A and B are shown apart, each in its own frame.
Chain A
Amino acid sequence: MSLDKDTVARIARLARLKVPDEELAPLAGELSGILAWIEQLNEVDTSNVAPLSSVSDVTLPMRADKVTDGGIAAKVLANAPGGAVYIDPTDKNAGGFFTVPKVVE
């Protein structure tokens, strides 16, 4: 499978990744090279083989529906790019908001 510039631009758009125009053609070449090399997988007959999505045999464990931590509101909010906003500044664990720059237009 060979990718052209337009396809690369379309994938970049899907991935929300800005790729400058002048990089589209070289990227198309590199990605086509990788995909051509991957094509060899088609030699293998896998019609009766189930896909393996995880090697861990463990079934997803259930846990009791109990609070296991808490009282760390300041830690949770520390990395908020818009800063941490607390409902009651004298009691940080009373609740607060993780604020981010405006994303709704």
Chain B
Amino acid sequence: MAAVTDLTIAQLTAALAKKETSAVEVAEAHLAKLDEHRALNAFITETPDKARAMAKASDERRWKGEAGLLEGVPLAIKDLFCTEGVQTTAASNILKGFVPTYESTVTSNLWKSGAVMVGKTNLDEFAMGSSNMTSHFGGVENPWKRKGDNRKLVPGGSSGGSAAAVAAYMVPGSTGTDTGGSIRQPAAFCGIVGLKPTYGRCSRWGVVAFASSLDQPGPFTRTVEDAALMLQAMAGHDPKDSTSAPLPVPDFAAAARDPNIKGLKVGIPKEYRVDGTSEEIVALWAKGVEMLKAAGAEPVEVSLPHSKYALPAYYIVAPAECSSNLARYDGVRFGLRVPGKDLPEMYENTRGAGFGKETRRRILIGTYVLSAGYYDAYYKQAQRIRTLIARDFKQAFETCDVLLTPTAPTAAFAAGDKMDDPVAMYLNDVFTIPASMAGLPGISVPAGLDKDGLPLGLQLIGRAFDEVTMLRAAAALEKAAAFSGRATGY
């Protein structure tokens, strides 16, 4: 048998079922990897004791014949999910010392299915960023490096630690959250699979809020089938999240095992040919169309005319929601408190010291666009444009079943790049944000390497609550692309 750390989730659960290994053995092997690759800074908190205890309990369940879907699978959790008794930071100084006394619904679902937590991963502060460079706990290093170039690259963001941990084989799967691309873009940068479900598919309860109308938890894995398995365990209606969809959870794994896409109509949005996209990505996109066609799908050109407005509209809606959500961090009830001569000064000192540069920038933008006299011009207009974006997708899906686009306009960039130009940084999410604004599911599948040897991803976007079709197409794309790249630079 191969090293247990090389196995996918599906292979691991099969090996565990055949008693070829134990959850305790699997946990130890992965904890050793966390130890070995600590320099990547993928984790904010490692939880080896918890992992060992959970693994032991998992083995006991298996002996009793009570194995769950992810029984004994070690997972890393983005440090935005509240985990009972384990500090939860959102990569921010303002949550200093916060140890939740409750468990988020999504992680709770994962533990119920038998998974084992090895630690909490690094991220951009409050999930705001596309490089993981805005974390209070320092940036994360992408396990991939350019050929013949030793410079550190970013893993993407905001779920950078979760993506790097999977790409570096520290865990076979991890959780992320995606507001505008925070799962799909890092998955593309790290050469792995990242899935953002339909808004409402996974509960947001217990996930530190950034932009509540957009935030959605999802998995990172090395295969499409594994992403389906994790989503299966994470998803489901939760009465504690009023936007959680009261729908049954389909058999996602079965869809991922059935890459039959004969007759499937794959929409190619013509507006996604945007300036600044690397030529290699444009070429890979065309190749992806050919691959799906060869697998029996029928490509159709579709139009999403308001695509170019999605990104600027997002940068009104998301900061507006962020400024409201982050108003709760006032130094009074939990987290950091910096004294002042009076109450307003205590608030200002606490928030000034507790939030990093990008978070402060977004709070200020959000406060401005919601302030008296500007609300209609900015916020209302952005919400109207959101209606048009959602309508575009609805019309496109009248003539196709799934959309194929690039995931990000470039491969991973060097640590420190684009830090002085917020708009250039925001453009990373140009292909992922439109689907976010419409609440649609998206998945990034690694599809090739560029001339520097870095991974590139392609994105499939599905109809609302039709992850099944999206997963079938993703499985077909994965099979045709036969991506076998593996990071070696770490």
Q: Is A31 an interface residue (CB 8 A)?
A: yes
Pick the contact of A11: B371, B388, B438 (CB < 8 A).
B371
Pick the contact of B348: A18, A53, A72 (CB < 8 A).
A18
Given A34-B422, A56-B243, A79-B99, A51 and B312 touching (CB < 8 A)?
Answer: no
Chain B residue with Cβ nearest A49 = B384
Please tell me if the beta carbons of B313 and A41 are within 8 angstroms of each other in the complex.
yes
What residues of A have a CB within 8 angstroms of the CB of B246 in the complex?
Answer: 58, 61
Please tell me if the beta carbons of A55 and B438 are within 8 angstroms of each other in the complex.
yes
Q: Is B30 an interface residue (CB 8 A)?
A: no
| A67-90 CB contacts (< 8 Å) to partner B | 72, 75-76, 78-81
Please tell me if the beta carbons of A52 and B387 are within 8 angstroms of each other in the complex.
yes
Secondary structure call for the B interface: helix
> Most chain-B CB neighbours within 10 Å: which of A15, A54, A56, A100?
A15
Q: Is B390 an interface residue (CB 8 A)?
A: yes
Pick the contact of B343: A18, A30, A51, A103 (CB < 8 A).
A103
Q: Is B120 an interface residue (CB 8 A)?
A: no
Q: Is A27 an interface residue (CB 8 A)?
A: yes
Pick the contact of B332: A27, A35, A103 (CB < 8 A).
A103
Chain A residue with Cβ nearest B423 = A37
Please tell me if the beta carbons of A31 and B387 are within 8 angstroms of each other in the complex.
no
Q: With the chains together, A2 CA to B347 CA distance in Å?
A: 27
Q: Is B334 an interface residue (CB 8 A)?
A: yes
What residues of A have a CB within 8 angstroms of the CB of B200 in the complex?
Answer: 55-56, 58
Q: With the chains together, A56 CA to B344 CA distance in Å?
A: 37
Please tell me if the beta carbons of B365 and A31 are within 8 angstroms of each other in the complex.
yes
Please tell me if the beta carbons of A52 and B383 are within 8 angstroms of each other in the complex.
yes
Please tell me if the beta carbons of A34 and B309 are within 8 angstroms of each other in the complex.
no
Q: With the chains together, A42 CA to B173 CA distance in Å?
A: 42
> Chain A 6-23 against B: per-residue CB contact (8 Å), 1 yes, 0 no?
011001111111111000
Please tell me if the beta carbons of A100 and B333 are within 8 angstroms of each other in the complex.
yes
Given A15-B323, A41-B312, A49-B388, A54 and B243 touching (CB < 8 A)?
Answer: yes
A102 smallest CB distance to B (angstroms): 9
Please tell me if the beta carbons of A54 and B352 are within 8 angstroms of each other in the complex.
no
What residues of A have a CB within 8 angstroms of the CB of B332 in the complex?
Answer: 81, 100-101, 103
A3 smallest CB distance to B (angstroms): 8
Pick the contact of B385: A11, A14, A46, A78 (CB < 8 A).
A46
What residues of A have a CB within 8 angstroms of the CB of B239 in the complex?
Answer: 61, 63
> Chain B 299-320 against A: per-residue CB contact (8 Å), 1 yes, 0 no?
0000000101100110110000
Please tell me if the beta carbons of B101 and A17 are within 8 angstroms of each other in the complex.
no
Please tell me if the beta carbons of A19 and B360 are within 8 angstroms of each other in the complex.
yes
Q: With the chains together, A3 CA to B353 CA distance in Å?
A: 23
Chain B residue with Cβ nearest A61 = B242
Please tell me if the beta carbons of B351 and A52 are within 8 angstroms of each other in the complex.
no
A50 smallest CB distance to B (angstroms): 6
Please tell me if the beta carbons of A81 and B337 are within 8 angstroms of each other in the complex.
yes
| B361-411 CB contacts (< 8 Å) to partner A | 361, 363-365, 367-368, 371, 378, 380-388, 390
What residues of A have a CB within 8 angstroms of the CB of B308 in the complex?
Answer: 40
What residues of A have a CB within 8 angstroms of the CB of B423 in the complex?
Answer: 33-34, 37
Pick the contact of B333: A17, A63, A98 (CB < 8 A).
A98
Please tell me if the beta carbons of B387 and A49 are within 8 angstroms of each other in the complex.
yes
B110 smallest CB distance to A (angstroms): 21
Chain B residue with Cβ nearest A59 = B242
Given A8-B364, A16-B348, A49-B388, A75 and B333 touching (CB < 8 A)?
Answer: no
What residues of A have a CB within 8 angstroms of the CB of B108 in the complex?
Answer: none
B85 smallest CB distance to A (angstroms): 10
A-B contact pairs, 27 of them (CB 8 A): A7-B368, A11-B371, A12-B364, A15-B323, A15-B364, A15-B367, A16-B351, A27-B364, A30-B361, A30-B422, A37-B312, A37-B315, A44-B384, A46-B388, A51-B387, A52-B384, A54-B243, A55-B199, A55-B390, A55-B437, A56-B199, A58-B243, A61-B246, A79-B333, A98-B333, A100-B332, A103-B332
Which residue numbers of B lie inside 8 Å of A, CB to CB?
A: 98-99, 101-102, 199-200, 213, 239, 242-243, 245-246, 306, 308-309, 312-313, 315-316, 323, 327, 330, 332-334, 337, 342-344, 347-349, 351-353, 355, 360-361, 363-365, 367-368, 371, 378, 380-388, 390, 422-423, 437-439, 464
